[in-house]
Amino acid sequence: MSVIRVSDVVKDYPIAGGYYRALQGVSLEIAQGEYVAIMGHSGSGKSTFMNLLGCLDRYTQGRYWLNSCEVGSLSRNELAQLRNRTLGFVFQGFNLLSRMNLADNIGLPLVYAGVSKAERRRRAQALLDRVGLGAYAESHPNQISGGQQQRVAIARALINQPRVLLADEPTGNLDSQTSEEILAIFRQLNADGITIVLVTHEADVAAHALRQVGFRDGRIVRDEPTAEAGRRSPPC
């Protein structure tokens, strides 16, 4: 069964003197446990699409089911709950809160889920250990490197045990060595059963995924499994 089902979605941005159609009717289905890389030129609508998938923005036309629940008809608070419970985000710019230490940053989604402080602390520490930053709970974001910040951001995205992890150019600000480390974490998460959708410009990043979707001018022009998929599940 598919976690994500998008059908003929259109997104118009209001601009001076009319609308700019960033998505011109996109349909896509992603099953539980898939690892999808979205590629395309700059301005082809990748981020726009990701924002819709992440329930951060509303689409103009079409339909979108997340967990067989139609997103278009949900209220702001219901969308907030979906983002909190079902989705995890990893951004290109990390987006950690500089005033809080790393453990509090990771535990932030749990605050909105009403989890107690002790429990937040315990789960944040477990995730910090898992991304290899166990000793940094009390550090602040400006005291660690970009690669480490992105790992903290991943830990934060995972804390509510989401079914889907959405990542818009998560390695865009990182060098290739650090990117590899982040991608290794993603691969592990996917192996654990989490659905991952990531946007990237780089072919070698996309090569880690099991399926590639190509965007051009607000449309999907390509949708195929990668070589990696063939390697993981050989025919017969």
Partner 1 sequence: MLIAMLGEAWRAMGANRLRSLLTMLGMVIGVGAVVLMMAVGQGAQYAVKQSISAMGSNLFIVSASLSTTSGGVRRAGAAKITVADAEAMMELPGVEVVGQSLHPAPVQVIHGQANWTASIVGAVPEYLDARSWDVVSGSRFTESDVKAATRVALIGQNVGRKLFGDEDPVGKVVRIKQQPFVVLGVLAPKGQSLDGRDQDDSIIVPLVTAQRKLFGQTGGGINMIMVKAESLEAMPSVEQEMRALLRQRHRIREGMENDFSIRDLTATANTAAETAKVMSMLLGSIASVSLLVGGIGIMNIMLVSVTERTREIGIRMALGAREGAILAQFLLEAIIMSVIGCVIGLLLGLVGAELFRRFGNTTVVVSGGSALVAFGVALSVGVFFGYYPARKAALLDPIEALRYQ
Ligand X SMILES: Nc1ncnc2c1ncn2[C@@H]1O[C@H](COP(=O)(O)OP(=O)(O)OP(=O)(O)O)[C@@H](O)[C@H]1O
Interface residues with partner 1 (CB under 8 A)? Answer: 51, 54, 56-57, 76-77, 80-81, 83-85, 89, 91, 95, 97, 99-100, 108-109, 111-114, 117, 156, 160
CB of 165 to ligand X, least distance (A): 18
Q: Return the structure tokens found at 177.
A: 């060595």
CB of 167 to Mg ion, least distance (A): 12
The number of residues in the chain equals 236
- Which listed option, ligand X, partner 1, Mg ion, none, makes contact with residue 80 (CB within 5 to 8 Å by class)? partner 1
* H or E element that contains 22: strand 18-31
Q: Is 19 in the site for ligand X (CB under 6 A)?
A: no
Nearer to partner 1, 67 or 81 (CB): 81
Nearer to ligand X, 53 or 133 (CB): 53
Q: Is 173 in the site for ligand X (CB under 6 A)?
A: no
CA distance 195 to 62: 23
Q: Is 40 in the site for ligand X (CB under 6 A)?
A: yes
- Which listed option, partner 1, ligand X, Mg ion, none, makes contact with residue 19 (CB within 5 to 8 Å by class)? none
CA angle 211, 147, 88 (to 5 degrees): 50
Nearer to partner 1, 54 or 147 (CB): 54
Q: Give the DSSP letter of residue 39.
A: E
Helix, strand, coil share of the chain (percent; to 5)? 40, 30, 30
Q: Is 44 in the site for ligand X (CB under 6 A)?
A: yes
The strands making up 211-216's β-sheet, listed across from edge to edge, are: 87-90, 164-168, 195-199, 35-40, 211-216, 219-225
Side chain identity at residue 93, one-letter code:
G
